[in-house]
Structure 1
Amino acid sequence: MPWSRDWLAAAAPQRRDLWRGVEAQHRVATMKLADSLHDQELLEQLLEASKPKPPPEAAGMDYLLFTPFRYTSPWPSRFRRPGEPGAWYGADDAATVAAEIAYWRWRFFMDSDGLREEQVLTEHTFFQARFEGLELDLTAAPWAAERATWRDPQNYAACQELARAARAVAPPVQAIRYESARREGGWCEVVFDPRSLRRPRQHLQQTWTCKTTKQRVLLSHDTDRLQFDMA
């Protein structure tokens, strides 16, 4: 373990505005199956009823905020082991969100035998949320001394062990701030407690188009154009 449990005392109250990106394909998918708007609405209701209920602490929240907390996944992420409670990932700015999405879209693309010689177009919703709660900042001392550990592009074991300890400490850490492994100078946040999230009064939301090939990923929104070379 590259850190001391005494370091958890560095957690402090913080308030941040964060961006998150989610794929915006669900209504397009259901419209393909429906012959009318009424049928589509019924299909949407059936799909929603089949999903796990959000945790009690997320009751009444915007679905863009509570969705990551309603599932336990068999697949790990940087700060969550398989089967552990959900976590909400965001970043300080849209460019960092785009870099993270580009990497994971490309990974999915390359892991799919039938897609590698094709190209895939997807639409994503980027939106802003406000975090306010107890935060552990890995970009500050003493945690920053282990920068390479927290940014490891493949091995998440140390991050997952830290997240488990941070959730268990009293009072529990509600979020961890860390540096993006996909974009130099990009800052990310993983939030564990849905009660620490809300939508700002001014709901900032953007639609981004993503094109994925085996060589690169392109993301665009209005005049913003971002290219990530992967080959």
Structure 2
Amino acid sequence: MRYKHVFFDLDHTLWDFETNAVSTLQELYAEHGLEKRGIPSFGEFYASYSVINDKLWDRFRKGYINRNDLRTKRFSMTFLEFKICDDGLCDAIGKRFLEVLPTKTALFPHAVEVLDYLQDKNYPIHLITNGFEETQRLKMKHSGIHDYFTHIVTSETAGSLKPHRDIFDYAMKLSSTSASESIMIGDTLDVDILGAQEAGMDQVYFAPGQTQEGVTPTYTIHSLQELKDIL
């Protein structure tokens, strides 16, 4: 086998973050009566939240804000879009979001099938994620995929964030492997793919929707099932 160790991203690659986040936020929108607070529809709420959350995650990866800033500002800034200033409401929804989201179980099509396939082929499977340690492990346990992974490397444990090379080097050292024997599978060109390239690893760009440009990966797939043609 050309590759001896397989590394996955979690959110948007195996665990369907968008589906699970929508389900969670719909619950919170109803639970906290946000329509009565001045947010006309869930669609408008989610659209604003998504834009703000993506921007904050980008700032977090670049080291401009810390974890607590990310967790609090994504809701306070969203509510300000609707002229709502309520620290208590923001704190309550932020806390509930972190409680409910990890219990959601939607995975991308063929995720379990491919993990079974790799396990049957005796590949050690590992995870490299920028998500928070406790939250990511809960997501994996509730969705039934936790035990497929030999090593789970989060930004907290590695002390580094993708796309920085340090987190990939940390993961490979922990897994007793080298870049030439490793392959990284992820959904984000400037985080998963660029980071793996900088670390010398081959990469699989998982693009179930529209393919982005700017970084040229080793492979591009549109379904996880296509990994069987590579590994």
Q: Return the TM-score normalized by structure 2.
A: 0.28
* Larger relative strand fraction: 1
* Larger relative helix fraction: 2
Q: Return the TM-score normalized by structure 1.
A: 0.28
Structure of greater relative contact order (alpha carbons < 8 Å, 6+ residues apart): 1
